[in-house]
């Protein structure tokens, strides 16, 4: 039974490409497009949220600054009323003693400019008709009480609290009527003798002696002290014009109902009220405090702009300015002037350019990933098409091989069988005819043996490692020459040798040079027969049709070449003719014999020797098969 080539030429490149696009490229494009769309929407949402984020940040910043101020006031609220004196009498039942006020003994906080205290005027006393003394206290290391800032603080307090006071009504009595209201403040019980000493304004030593002499009269007696929560007022500080925030509380002592010992305690015979408070440093309140809190509150794309900052006339369109004011958080007991209010305005600038830069980086990364995917898919398409092409070519080579092997096997087998049967049946009694048939049987058997040897040689060259050794290229060519000059036992005139002298020694295999020359010359005789009728005429240069030569190339490497005057090899086929079972054309219409292993064996032998084989066009027509060997 004859071998039949497969009918199916292999998978269709168009079908494979369609499936690749459908299963790989299309999902990647769809999901990439959806991801890009979602990314753009998210970026647009972030840009649109910046104004609201800036407004919220400005509000949070003002609130946080207000909390810091309240923390300061909470500590101040716990101070006893006598702490606002230079020397305060200790509230205990032991010996009467004094301690310096912590407002003087301790370092002044950065946030506070100073403390003040004065007695609210009373209509029943004439001594309040003139200037009411204001005591101003500063911490250690500060200038004395006579320094300009302390004097200025005293003047501000007088202007804010004492000018225009209606003395026809007792302020202390009015405040006592509000003490019972929830949220007014706190009532503290104090030892009576400490209260008396801490309100005395003159002759304290006399009062102290009187208390010591009449200790049994006041021992154990307590007196209520009502302390309100802090309220706020603002004042303009000249010449800088900065607003000064004043926090103050009211300390009310109800009138004493028991007999007095000395007149130095006379103020408590009526309802008595102290105004005590502090002034915040404007530099800290409106500059340092917001900057400190901004570092904690604001995000990376928001920038703090301190109060008093002027906005540009031509603002950057990528910057959104949100503003908030610190002063409205303080419940002022007087109307704040607009120019004073503006000093508490803080700006938060939301810069879109920073986010846009981040988005550009994000988009660049997306584009880079998309580009890599596109390149990968393009490479995948090329590899797929190349794989399909190789598969089709492999199928085509297999088909050609099956067809050629079928032809190569059937022809000699049929000839051997025919001549054998004729000899067996005794068709010819002529000895000459019988010898001729036997010779043909031997020739066809050699042809089969050569086919089998080539297949086995390919297997051996593909599976085994070879160790070439140094040798002479010309010597090996000369040893092969006699076998090449005989064709069917007859000397051929289509072959010429041109061996260069003094070639360097090269790495070679004797069998390899033999196989290479034999197959190249045989291939030239098969496909490049000279003359129209194959009569062995010389080529256009007057030389034999096939030239075997050795020479040195430009890099002084030894080269073995076989030149023919055949039809030549197309450029697109030059890189494929050394593949196994590769034969140009169609086996169904080809007239030349062969299995497509000759040139493949040439490539295998060259690789075994570490040489390089290539094919080039020959000037004037034909091909040049070149083997470049490695120097020893």
Residue 588 within any structural domain of the chain:
yes
| CA proximity to 574, closest of 562, 586, 582 | 582
User: Where is pLDDT greater, at 442 or 4?
Assistant: 442
Q: Is 171 exposed, middle or buried (0-12, 13-18, 19+ CB in 10 A)?
A: buried
Q: How far apart are CA 103 and CA 92, in angstroms?
A: 21
Does 544 share its domain with 597? yes
Does 598 share its domain with 504? yes
Residue 422 within any structural domain of the chain:
no
Q: How far apart are CA 396 and CA 401, in angstroms?
A: 8
| 550 phi and psi angles, rounded to 5 deg | -125, 145
Residue 445 within any structural domain of the chain:
no
Residue 604 within any structural domain of the chain:
yes
Does 611 share its domain with 470? yes
Does 536 share its domain with 609? yes
> Which of these three, 258, 280, 302, is where a domain ends?
280
| 185 phi and psi angles, rounded to 5 deg | 170, -135
Structural domain containing residue 179: 80-280
Looking at 144-194, which runs of residues are DSSP E strands? 185-191
pLDDT tier, 545 (very low <50, low <70, confident <90, very high otherwise): confident
pTM: 0.54
> What is the three-class DSSP state of 556?
coil
Residue 357: enclosing H or E segment and its boundaries?
helix 352-424
CB 112 within 8 A of CB 279: yes
The pLDDT of residue 558: 92
The pLDDT of residue 87: 81
Please, which residues have CB within 8 angstroms of residue 344's CB and are 6 or more apart in sequence?
243, 286, 307, 325, 326, 327, 328
Residue 478: enclosing H or E segment and its boundaries?
helix 473-484
| CA proximity to 369, closest of 11, 17, 14, 35 | 35
Residue 18 within any structural domain of the chain:
yes
25 secondary structure, DSSP code:
I
Does 60 share its domain with 130? no
Does 38 share its domain with 155? no
Q: Is the pLDDT of residue 466 over 60?
A: yes
Q: How far apart are CA 340 and CA 234, in angstroms?
A: 8
Q: How far apart are CA 324 and CA 344, in angstroms?
A: 8
Does 20 share its domain with 149? no
What are the tens digits of pLDDT across the range 181-204?
A: 777 889 998 888 888 888 876 556
Residue 290 within any structural domain of the chain:
yes
Residue 228: enclosing H or E segment and its boundaries?
strand 222-228
> Which of these three, 324, 353, 381, is where a domain ends?
381
| 244 phi and psi angles, rounded to 5 deg | -110, 120
* Helices 598-608 and 431-463: angle between axes, nearest 10 degrees: 50
Structurally, how many domains does the chain consist of? Answer: 3
Q: Is the pLDDT of residue 256 over 60?
A: yes
| DSSP labels, 32-65 | HHHHHHHHHHHHHHHHHHHHHHHHHHHHHHHHHH
202 secondary structure, DSSP code:
S
What are the tens digits of pLDDT across the range 282-325?
A: 888 888 898 888 888 887 778 888 766 777 777 777 777 787 88
Q: Is the pLDDT of residue 343 over 90?
A: no
Q: How far apart are CA 133 and CA 117, in angstroms?
A: 9
CB 616 within 8 A of CB 626: yes
Q: Is the pLDDT of residue 77 over 90?
A: yes
| CA proximity to 604, closest of 449, 448, 455 | 455
pLDDT tier, 125 (very low <50, low <70, confident <90, very high otherwise): low
Does 236 share its domain with 265? yes
> What is the three-class DSSP state of 114?
strand
Averaged pLDDT, 97-119: 84
The pLDDT of residue 458: 56
Averaged pLDDT, 449-464: 59
Averaged pLDDT, 36-46: 84
How far apart, in Å, are the Cα atoms of 526 and each of 9, 296, 519, 536, 570? Answer: 27, 90, 10, 12, 17
Q: Is the pLDDT of residue 239 over 90?
A: no
Q: How far apart are CA 118 and CA 161, in angstroms?
A: 10
**CB count in 10 Å sphere of residue 550:** 22
Q: Is the pLDDT of residue 270 over 70?
A: yes
| CA proximity to 518, closest of 453, 467, 569 | 453
Does 210 share its domain with 245? yes
| CATH of residue 602 | 3.30.565.10
Which residues pair with residue 631 across a beta bridge? 506
The pLDDT of residue 146: 39
> Which of these three, 229, 245, 280, is where a domain ends?
280
What are the tens digits of pLDDT across the range 374-410?
A: 888 888 888 877 888 777 777 776 666 666 666 566 6
Does 271 share its domain with 316? no
Does 170 share its domain with 248? yes
Does 60 share its domain with 201? no
Residue 385: enclosing H or E segment and its boundaries?
helix 352-424
Q: How far apart are CA 300 and CA 54, in angstroms?
A: 12
Q: How far apart are CA 583 and CA 389, in angstroms?
A: 16
Q: How far apart are CA 268 and CA 245, in angstroms?
A: 31
Residue 339 within any structural domain of the chain:
yes
Residue 453 within any structural domain of the chain:
no
What are the tens digits of pLDDT across the range 212-235?
A: 777 766 777 888 899 999 988 888
């Amino acid at each position: 039974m004859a071998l039949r080539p497969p009918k199916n030429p292999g998978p269709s490149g168009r079908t494979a490409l369609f499936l690749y696009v459908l299963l790989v490229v299309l999902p990647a494009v769809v999901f990439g497009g959806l991801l890009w769309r979602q990314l753009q929407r998210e970026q647009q949402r972030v840009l649109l949220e910046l104004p609201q984020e800036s407004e919220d940040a400005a509000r949070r910043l003002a609130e946080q600054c207000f909390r810091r101020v309240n923390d300061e006031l909470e500590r101040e609220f716990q101070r006893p009323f006598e702490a606002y004196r230079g020397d305060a009498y200790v509230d205990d039942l032991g010996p009467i003693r004094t301690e310096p006020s912590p407002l003087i003994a301790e370092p002044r906080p950065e946030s506070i400019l100073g403390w003040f205290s004065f007695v609210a005027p009373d209509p029943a006393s004439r001594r309040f008709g003139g200037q009411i003394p204001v005591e101003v206290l500063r911490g250690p290391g500060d200038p004395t009480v006579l320094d300009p800032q302390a004097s200025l603080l005293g003047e501000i307090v007088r202007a804010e609290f004492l000018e225009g006071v209606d003395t026809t009504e007792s302020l202390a009595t009015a405040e006592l009527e509000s003490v019972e209201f929830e949220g007014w403040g706190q009532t503290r019980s104090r030892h009576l003798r400490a209260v008396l000493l801490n309100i005395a304004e003159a002759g304290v030593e006399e009062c102290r002696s009187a208390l010591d002499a009449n200790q049994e009269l006041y021992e154990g007696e307590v007196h209520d002290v009502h302390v309100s929560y802090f309220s706020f007022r603002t004042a303009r500080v000249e010449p800088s014009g900065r607003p000064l925030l004043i926090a103050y509380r009211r300390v009310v002592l109800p009138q004493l109902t028991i007999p007095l010992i000395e007149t130095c305690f006379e103020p408590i015979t009526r309802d008595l009220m102290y105004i005590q408070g502090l002034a915040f440093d404007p530099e800290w309140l409106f500059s340092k405090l917001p900057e400190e809190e901004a570092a904690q509150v604001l995000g990376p794309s928001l920038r703090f702009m301190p109060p008093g900052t002027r906005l540009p006339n031509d603002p950057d369109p990528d910057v959104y300015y949100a503003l908030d004011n610190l002063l409205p958080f303080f419940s002022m007991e007087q109307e704040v002037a607009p120019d004073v209010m503006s000093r508490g305005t803080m700006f938060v600038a939301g810069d879109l350019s920073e986010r846009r830069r981040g988005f550009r980086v994000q988009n660049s990364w997306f584009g880079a990933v998309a580009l890599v995917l596109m390149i990968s898919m393009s490479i995948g398409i090329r590899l797929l098409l190349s794989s399909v092409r190789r598969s089709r070519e492999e199928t085509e080579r297999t088909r050609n091989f099956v067809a050629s092997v079928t032809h190569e096997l059937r022809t000699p087998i049929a000839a051997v069988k025919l001549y054998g049967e004729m000899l067996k049946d005794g068709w010819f009694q002529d000895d000459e005819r019988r010898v001729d048939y036997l010779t043909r049987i031997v020739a066809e058997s050699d042809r089969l043996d050569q086919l089998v040897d080539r297949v086995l040689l390919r297997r051996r060259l593909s599976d085994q490692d070879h160790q070439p050794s140094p040798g002479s290229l010309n010597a090996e060519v000369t040893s092969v020459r006699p076998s090449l000059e005989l064709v069917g036992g007859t000397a051929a005139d289509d072959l010429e040798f041109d061996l260069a002298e003094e070639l360097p020694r090269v790495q070679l295999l004797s069998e390899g040079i033999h196989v290479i020359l034999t197959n190249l010359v045989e291939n030239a005789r098969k496909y490049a027969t000279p003359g129209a009728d194959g009569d062995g005429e010389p080529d256009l240069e007057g030389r034999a049709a096939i030239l075997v030569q050795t020479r040195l190339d430009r890099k002084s490497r030894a080269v073995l070449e076989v030149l023919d005057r055949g039809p030549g090899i197309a450029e697109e086929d030059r890189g494929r003719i050394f593949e196994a079972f590769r034969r140009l054309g169609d086996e169904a219409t080809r007239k030349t014999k062969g299995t497509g292993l000759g040139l493949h064996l040439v490539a295998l032998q060259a690789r075994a020797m570490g040489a390089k084989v290539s094919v080039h066009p020959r000037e004037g027509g034909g091909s040049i098969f070149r083997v470049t060997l490695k120097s020893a």
